[in-house]
């Protein structure tokens, strides 16, 4: 296997490993006004965490949200969505540097993608933010509706603020899946992947199995086993088997990729598309030039 093959395998495999979540819950934390919280969750995307204490008697939520912003002059955000599961409808807190140069929190009742500071449905108290050691924190109290025990939470990070308004975040899978249910009593949070992300995972796995495992193994058999005369012609059948199945799985991976591409209206992954189409064309040509069984 050449260095190139190795590099390619590494890239394919690393793309399969989910983005790591943070460990803020296990790290000792010091919060200015509320020194300890009774629960903490490391959230599954964007390296963020939520510490909280919930008093069910009066539905008071003491919380601290921690996340690294996407840029030094960026923002972090945490929200509860009482009417839906995603961004729209979120009763949102966003932390960023205010006019006076200090970190502060603004509330946003997000009803469309043009967000602006506005009152939110929940009363809040003692809202504050800081930016220490590369992470921004939002903390304070939120007075929820009596009887609430499970909420839809939404969180996000961005790289810039313009005219006192946070500028839009990225649209990577991590940014699209930063939402889920939070059980305030049992301390559990769950995230259901959206269908685009599920399809994207299937596309990734099919392509990794095909281009990353089956086709290289087939090639290795052809290149190295044929020098052993005794392995003839077994190596050839292993080679053909791997290439045929690998190519089949590759076609499926390519198909799911094309379908994903046609469904993604707003965002175009142009480079990725060209790489995919080129790889597929090369793979097809390689197979067509079929080098035939060994001339013994
Ligand atoms: C700063 C201005 C913002 C803009 C222009 C913006 C824009 C967008 C757009 C266009 C989408 C849909 C992308 C798609 O479906 O392909 C989206 C999704 C999302 N946004 Fe924002 N966003 C902003 C701020 C925020 C904030 C502050 C939060 C945190 C509460 C947030 C959380 C999310 C989440 C979790 C998603 C994915 C789930 C969903 O589609 O609702 N966004 N955003
Ligand atoms: C709710 O209960 C907590 C803890 O018992 C208390 O600290 C807080 O002041 C109460 N809040 C309200 C609004 O009564
Ligand atoms: C937030 O926006 C929704 C939809 O426009 C509206 O019904 C609600 O009253 C708003 N909340 C506040 C606190 O203004």
Q: What is the mean pLDDT of the chain?
A: 82
Which atom of ligand 2 is found nearest the CA of 60?
1
Which numbered ligand comes closest to the C-alpha of 58? 2
55 versus 8: the higher-pLDDT residue is 55
Q: Is 195 in the pocket of ligand 2 (CB under 6 A)?
A: no
Write out pLDDT tens, residues 230-276.
Answer: 777 777 777 777 778 777 777 777 777 776 666 655 456 676 777 77
Spatial contact of 124 and 91, defined as CB atoms under 8 Å apart: no
Which atom of ligand 3 is found nearest the CA of 121?
13
The CA-atom distances, in angstroms, between 203 and each of 146, 177, 199, 257, 276 are 44, 17, 6, 6, 11
- The SS3 of residue 226 is coil
19 pLDDT band, cuts 50/70/90, is: very low
**249: CA distance to ligand 3 center in Å?**
49
Which numbered ligand comes closest to the C-alpha of 84? 1
The beta strands (E) that lie in the chain are given as 39-42, 49-55, 60-67, 75-80, 91-97, 103-109, 123-132, 135-143, 150-158, 161-162, 165-166, 179-183, 188-190
- What is the structure's pLDDT at 18? 46
Cα(153)–Cα(135) distance, rounded to whole angstroms? 20
Sign of CA dihedral 138, 141, 144, 147: positive
Asked whether the whole model's pTM tops 0.85, one would answer: no
Cα(249)–Cα(230) distance, rounded to whole angstroms? 30
Mean pLDDT, residues 273-294: 71
Report whether pLDDT(2) > 50. Answer: yes
Cα(286)–Cα(139) distance, rounded to whole angstroms? 58
Residue with CA closest to ligand 2 atom 8: 60
**31: CA distance to ligand 2 center in Å?**
19
Query: Hey, what are 188's tokens?
Result: 């559990």
DSSP string, 114-146: S------SSEEEEEEEEEETTEEEEEEEEE--T
Q: Taking CB atoms and a 6 Å cutoff, what residues make up the pocket around ligand 1?
A: 77, 79, 86-87, 90, 92, 94, 113, 115, 154, 156, 158, 166-169, 171, 176, 178-179, 266
Question: Which residue is associated with the tokens 């509330």?
Answer: 107
Write out pLDDT tens, residues 157-175.
Answer: 999 999 999 999 999 999 9
Please, which residues bridge with residue 105 across strands? Answer: 95
Binding residues for heme b, as ranges, are: 203, 239, 272
Write out pLDDT tens, residues 43-98.
Answer: 999 999 999 999 999 999 999 999 999 999 999 999 999 999 999 999 999 999 99
Write out pLDDT tens, residues 215-224.
Answer: 777 777 777 7
Residue with CA closest to ligand 1 atom 32: 87
């Amino acid at each position: 296997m050449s260095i190139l093959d190795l590099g390619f395998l590494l890239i394919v495999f690393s793309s399969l490993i989910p983005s790591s979540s943070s460990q803020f819950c296990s790290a000792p934390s010091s919060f200015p006004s509320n020194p300890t919280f009774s629960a903490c969750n490391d959230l599954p995307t964007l390296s963020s965490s939520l510490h909280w204490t919930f008093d069910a008697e009066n539905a008071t939520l003491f919380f601290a949200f921690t996340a690294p912003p996407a840029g030094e002059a960026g923002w972090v955000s945490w929200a509860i969505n009482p009417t839906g599961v995603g961004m729209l409808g979120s009763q949102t807190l966003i932390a960023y540097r205010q006019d006076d140069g200090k970190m502060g929190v603004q509330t946003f009742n997000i009803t469309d993608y043009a967000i602006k500071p506005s009152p939110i449905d929940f009363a809040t108290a003692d809202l504050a933010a800081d930016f220490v050691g590369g992470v921004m924190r939002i903390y304070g109290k939120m007075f929820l509706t009596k009887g609430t025990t499970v909420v839809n939470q939404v969180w996000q990070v961005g790289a810039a603020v313009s005219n006192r308004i946070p500028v839009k975040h990225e649209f990577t899978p991590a940014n699209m899946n930063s939402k889920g249910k939070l059980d305030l009593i049992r301390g559990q949070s769950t995230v259901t992947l959206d269908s685009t992300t599920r399809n994207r995972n299937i596309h990734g796995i099919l392509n990794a199995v095909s281009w990353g495992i089956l086709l290289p193994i087939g090639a290795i058999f052809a290149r190295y086993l044929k020098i052993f005369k005794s392995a003839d012609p077994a190596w050839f059948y292993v080679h053909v088997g791997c290439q045929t199945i690998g190519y089949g799985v590759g076609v499926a991976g390519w198909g799911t990729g094309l379908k994903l591409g046609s469904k993604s209206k707003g965002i175009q992954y142009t480079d990725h598309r060209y790489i995919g189409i080129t790889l597929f064309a090369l793979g097809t040509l390689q197979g067509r030039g079929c080098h035939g069984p060994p001339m013994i």
